[in-house]
Amino acid sequence: MVTIKDIAQRAGVAKSTVSRYLNGGSVSQKTRAKLDEIVKETGYTPNTFAQSLKAKHTKMIGMIIPRLDSYSANEVLASIDASLRDQQYQLLITNANQSIEREIENIYTLAKQKVAGIILMATIITEAHRKAIAEVDIPVLLLGQVGEGLHTISHQEYEAGFTMGSYAKNLGHKKYLYLSVFKEDVAVGQLRAQGVLDALKEGADRTVEVIETSFSFQEAYEQALVILPSTQATFIICATDNIAMAVLKAAHTLDMSIPQQFSLAGFGGYATTSIVTPSITTVKYPYKELGKVAVEQILELVSGKPMKEHIALPNRLEIRESTVPF
């Protein structure tokens, strides 16, 4: 393994000179050119953790995820990790397990680790969140939610809901069931849901029933086992693909056929929705792109450069086997 000492010996300079070079310090043009060549030849990679210990702020970004079994969070997380490594940053991950209290606690914990910035995939934004963000006094970027006065990157949630609702309406169905989540979640429980409902405005021959369920697959599955035998809906729209998968499993358990008895759709574009039978119609979200944009923006904030307060990423409808005309 090549070390700073090895680089220094090959270049005929002091270790301190190599250290200044690696940290962007003052080095003569001739020396810099020589070190560039040696680093390229040896494939040397700086120890960012060791460098961080000597810095006022580490070359580490902290990230708070909502839960460990979330497809969307894991897709974003993988993208962020890869993008940060390209920029020679390391990632510290904490899990809030869908607890607001743990989210707040993790903001303070990561700040104590001297991370350069924090990326938070928040479920909701409370005054306690705002207080913590203000007190830690380091850049914090929110993903998935919108908070006035905070730096956020989200999806075009209302547009996604409206697109799905319009598609369902155009198929000619008259009775709809929308399985939503708690309204405190502004992105999914409010904006996404409102888009669906606005597209499916109730008419003389069109009805929409809204039932609140859980992000949890098991809880949504158990609730679907109760709902499906009694619903008259011919089109069921689920707030997430995870909920749609739970409904699909419940339908199989109850020996109900999709889409023969009802059409089914979700949101997210999870990989599993394309391999189950029937494959599930969904709105695909650009999770990997979200991760890349998040890294670009958090590093801009860390460097003190201005960033738009809010960025919203588009999504697209993917029509599959689970939906048919009425």
The total of other beta-carbon atoms located within 10 Å of residue 205's CB is 7
Residues 178 and 246 reside in one and the same domain: yes
User: What pLDDT is attached to residue 62?
Assistant: 94
pTM value?
0.74
Is 321 domain-assigned? no
Residues 206 and 142 reside in one and the same domain: no
Angle at alpha carbon of residue 123, lines to 186 and 202, rounded to 5°? 30
Residue 280 carries which DSSP code?
P
User: What pLDDT is attached to residue 175?
Assistant: 94
The rounded distance, in Å, linking the Cα atoms of 85 and 91 is: 8
pLDDT single digits (tens) 108-153:
999 888 899 999 998 788 899 998 988 888 899 999 888 888 999 9
Residues 198 and 113 reside in one and the same domain: no
Q: Indicate if the pLDDT at residue 97 is higher than 90.
A: no
Q: What is the mean pLDDT of the segment spanning 145-169? A: 92
Whether a cis peptide bond, with omega within 30° of 0, leads into 259 is yes
> Angle formed by the axes of helices 15-22 and 29-42, to 10°?
80
Q: Indicate if the pLDDT at residue 164 is higher than 80.
A: yes
User: What pLDDT is attached to residue 53?
Assistant: 46
Is 322 domain-assigned? no
> What is the extent of the structural domain holding 272?
157-285
Q: What is the mean pLDDT of the segment spanning 195-205? A: 85
At 14, which CATH number?
1.10.260.40
Residues 123 and 12 reside in one and the same domain: no
Length of the chain: 326
pLDDT single digits (tens) 51-70:
554 555 678 999 999 888 88
Is 319 domain-assigned? no
User: What pLDDT is attached to residue 105?
Assistant: 92
Q: Is 315 helix (H, G, I), strand (E, B) or coil?
A: coil
> Angle formed by the axes of helices 29-42 and 4-11, to 10°?
120
Average pLDDT value over all residues in the chain? 89
At 62, which CATH number?
3.40.50.2300
Is 271 domain-assigned? yes
Residue 240 carries which DSSP code?
S
Q: What is the mean pLDDT of the segment spanning 215-232? A: 95
Q: What is the mean pLDDT of the segment spanning 29-56? A: 74
Q: Give bridge partners of residue 154 from the DSSP assignment.
A: 312
The total of other beta-carbon atoms located within 10 Å of residue 102's CB is 16
Is 132 domain-assigned? yes
How many structural domains compose the chain?
Answer: 3
Angle at alpha carbon of residue 134, lines to 131 and 135, rounded to 5°? 85
Residues 140 and 193 reside in one and the same domain: no
pLDDT single digits (tens) 295-308:
999 999 998 887 78
Residues 144 and 213 reside in one and the same domain: no
Q: CB-based burial of residue 217 (10 Å sphere; 0-12 exposed, 13-18 middle, 19+ buried)?
A: middle
Is 320 domain-assigned? no
> What is the per-residue burial (b if ≥16 Cβ within 10 Å, else e) of 40-67?
eeeebebebeeebeeeeebbbbbbbbbb
Give which of 183, 218, 172, 195 is closest to 283, Cα–Cα.
195
Residues 281 and 291 reside in one and the same domain: no
